[in-house]
Structure 1
Amino acid sequence: MPFQSLRAVFLLIVTSVVVLSSMTGRFAYAQGRLSELGAKKATNRESYRRHQTIFAPRDQDIKQISQSPQVPEVLDAEAREALGIPPQLLESDDSWSESEDECLECETFVPLISHKRATANVTWLPGTGDDLGIFSLSLSEALELPRYEGFTITPRFGVHYLDGPVRTDLPARVYDTSVAFRWFNKFNEKWSYELEVAPGVYSDFKNVTTDSLRITGRGLAYYMHSRSKQFVFGVVYIDREDLKLLPAAGMIMWFSEGSRLELIFPKPKFTYRIEKSEARERWLYVAGEFGGGSWAIRRAGTAVDDVVTYNDLRLIGGIETKHTNGMVSQFEIGYVFNRKLEYLSNNGNYDISPTGMIRYQLTF
């Protein structure tokens, strides 16, 4: 009986030890797992803090910095317009700031051709008797090719109504028709260039031969020294019977935001702004101009085919109004001198007396 009691006590002790050992192991295991989970949570919290600090700060904004090269803005709006430079060639490229997801949602269609601007021009040089009078109307439409940056196509049409002279047999009207192909491109931030070729027919449409075909054009280089000074070098090909080529050289200077001097042969110009508002700007200017043209004609008296060339020099004063919707109007008055009329046959050449000029031009 005592032996059985001792045995029962021993079994109770052994059982208690086994149970306690099992519980201790499970507790240690659970404690280890808790420690491990706590460490992982701490690590995740630290990573999340770092993630938040880099990408999503709540108390400050992170400014994204472009790593792509940027073209410095060396020309203001007036400079670009004076040089005829497409604005997109000088604007900074911000395409780096758009994510791929955003670009997938962007409008990807690029038209083959689009309207850039249209110009209508009316010019009157009064004249009677032997003083040749000319009333001219011209229209042009500049078309852009967005897929070919800097490339434009400009068809032009003009008609000149001739008043006199009685001493020679000019037709009543002569016409200008042409299509200009122009390309502007940049070498780098300082240098750019412009090329243009414009085949056309200049005739009274009675003498339409090889004599009526003229190909004009120009090749110019621009050096952008600073925001206040630009240089221009090149040639202008006018393809007239008496004169084929003119040099084009000079500089453009900005004295202030509202004044500009273009010392460029053959068209110098000084412009001064007199008004600026939210709706429009007004500019006064004085300019010089080399005018005239060559046309293949059929002489009214003899029905003989010939080519006539008219040349003049013009001193012009004008006012230009620029509207915020892109429309630009110009009204000019001028003094026209050194006027000459010459024929290819040299039959009927003479000098014409000076006259005045009134011109209105609308660009939209």
Structure 2
Amino acid sequence: MFFRSRQVVFLVVALCALSMESVDGTAWAQGASVQSRGDAATGSSQALQHRTIFMPREAEIEQVSQSPQIPNVLDADSREALGIPPQLLDDDQSWADPGDDCVDCDAIVPLISHKQADAGVTWLPGTGDELGIFSINLSETIEVPRLEGFSVTPYFGVHYLDGPIQTDLPARVYDTSVAFRWFKKHNEKWSYELEVAPGVYSDFKNVTSDSLRITGKGLAYYVHSRSKQFVMGVVYLDRENIQMLPAAGMIMWFSEGSRLELIFPKPKYTYRIEKTEELERWAYVAGEFGGGSWGIRRGTAGFDDIATYSDLRLIGGLETKHTGGMISKLEVGFVFNRKLEYKSDIGNYDISPTGIMRYQLTF
């Protein structure tokens, strides 16, 4: 009897010990979880995965960047006006401070990543001595995540020339270039951008130093308020008739759906006419400075020369922005002050005004 009683006592003591150990373990786990949240609130530098090891699975981990973001005052067209980089607008965690905690710090950073691609066609009708141009352009913007603010954009364009009879232009000229862009966000007000884009602009018969051009730009952006932003700098065209243009002006929002860009060389007024869950539609009018320089081989004479075409454009357009990121633009307008000039000064002449139609797709 005594032996059996002693067994019962031992069994009770063992059960109590196991129960106490279970209770202590639960309390310790909960305490560690509470301490982890306290450390996170006070900005502890301990790694996130260590601090939340006992956090219940249903608890949400929220990551908030403390980096100031530039107000969202520009859209794709505004950036295009002077090549303003998308980083100005994106609520991207890449702007977070290097010391910020992250949920997946061990994720592999890709060497390159796709940012956006552009494709477009432009038609300036013309026959006889009235030069007609049909252009196709393609480009792809690639980001380099390991080099913050750096991107590369290969570009290819072909221009089919219709006429003129009184001078000897080739049937086609080409644009090929690679733009290297670096963007630096200095603080919540100031940002800077530098770009250099070496390229060959030629009929591919005259591929010499005459067809090599190095374009670029240096710009500064100042955010005055959510409704006003200033742009200043220079755009280097490296063309025979114009080497460099100033790039300066301001962008003003009158309301959420109305914007005026007083920017040289591309002023623009945009008004939103439709907004749904799937898309937004904007109508706009804009001014534009067009043209280019190409190294060519002159017809039967067979000597190398540089042809430069320039014009001014007044354009009206309709832009559709889809929630998936695709943007399409359809434009029509009037082209005037058209000139064709040669480096040799042989065959220069003024061209009559014409119209313009253009379709651009960004995806």
Alignment TM class, shorter chain as reference? 0.7 to 0.9
Specify the alignment match of 2:294 in structure 1.
295
Superposition RMSD in Å: 2.8
1:113 aligns with 2:112: yes
Report if the CA contact (8 A) 1:73-1:91 is conserved.
Answer: no
- Measured after TM superposition, the shift of residue 257 of structure 1 is 1.3
Distance 1:200 1:312 in 2: 22
Alignment of 1:5-154 (within 5 A): 55=35, 64=41, 70-76=66-72, 78=74, 82=79, 83-86=84-87, 87=90, 93=96, 98=101, 102-103=103-104, 106-154=105-153
Q: Deviations over 1:221-247 (max 9, x none)?
A: 001111111101100000001110000
Partner residue of 2:195? 196
Query: Paired residue for 1:180?
Result: 179
Q: Percent identity?
A: 67
1:268 aligns with 2:271: no
Cα 1:162–1:93 shift into 2, 3 Å: same
Compared with structure 1, are the counterparts of its residues 52 and 148 closer, same or farther at alpha carbon in structure 2 (3 Å cutoff)? closer
Aligned partner of 1:26 in structure 2 is none
| SS in structure 2 at match of 1:116 | strand
| Distance across 2 between alignment mates of 1:306 and 1:98 | 59
Shift of 1:270: 1.1
Does the residue aligned with 1:211 lie in a helix, a strand or coil?
helix
Which residue of structure 1 aligns with residue 303 of structure 2?
304
Aligned to 1:162: 161
Change (3 A) 1:66 1:225: farther
Q: CA deviation at 1:65?
A: 6.7
Secondary structure at 1:129 match in 2 = coil
CA shift at 1:201, angstroms?
0.3
Partners of 1:97 and 1:294 in 2: how far apart?
A: 49
Q: Relative to structure 1, is the Cα distance of residues 214 and 196 closer, same or farther in structure 2, using a 3 angstrom cutoff?
A: same
Residues 273-292 of structure 1: matches in 2 within 5 Å?
273-292=272-291
TM-score by length of structure 2 reads 0.79
Structure 1, unaligned stretches of length 5 or more?
A: 1-43
Aligned to 2:323: 324
On the 8 A contact 1:232/1:251 being kept in 2, the answer is yes
Larger Rg: 1
Inter-partner Cα distance in structure 1 for 2:32 and 2:196: 59
Shift of 1:52: 9.4
AA aligned opposite 1:253 = M
- Aligned pair in 2 of structure 1 residues 52, 120: CA closer, same or farther (>3 Å)? closer
> How far did 1:78 drift?
3.4
- Is the 2:334–2:356 contact (alpha carbons within 8 Å) kept by the matching residues of 1? yes
Say whether the 8 Å CA contact 2:65–2:100 is kept in structure 1. no
SS of equivalent residue, structure 1 residue 320: strand
Q: How far is 1:322 from its partner?
A: 0.7
Q: Conserved in 2, the CA contact under 8 Å of 1:66 and 1:96?
A: no
- In 2, are the aligned partners of 1:70 and 1:93 still within 8 Å (CA)? yes
- Counterpart Cα distance in 2 of 1:155 and 1:335: 29
Residue deviations 1:192-223 (CA, integer Å, cap 9, x gap): 10100000000000011100000000000001
Structure 2: state its 5+ residue gaps: 1-23, 45-63
Q: State the one-letter code of the partner of 1:136.
A: S
In structure 1, give the amino acid aligned to 2:309.
Y
Question: For 1:276 and 1:312, how far apart are their aligned partners in 2?
Answer: 34
Task: Give the number of the structure whose residues are more often helix, by fraction.
Answer: 1
Could you tell me how far apart the structure 1 residues matched to 2:319 and 2:179 are?
25
1:116–1:91 Cα change, 3 Å: closer
Q: Distance in 1 between matches of 2:109 and 2:93?
A: 20
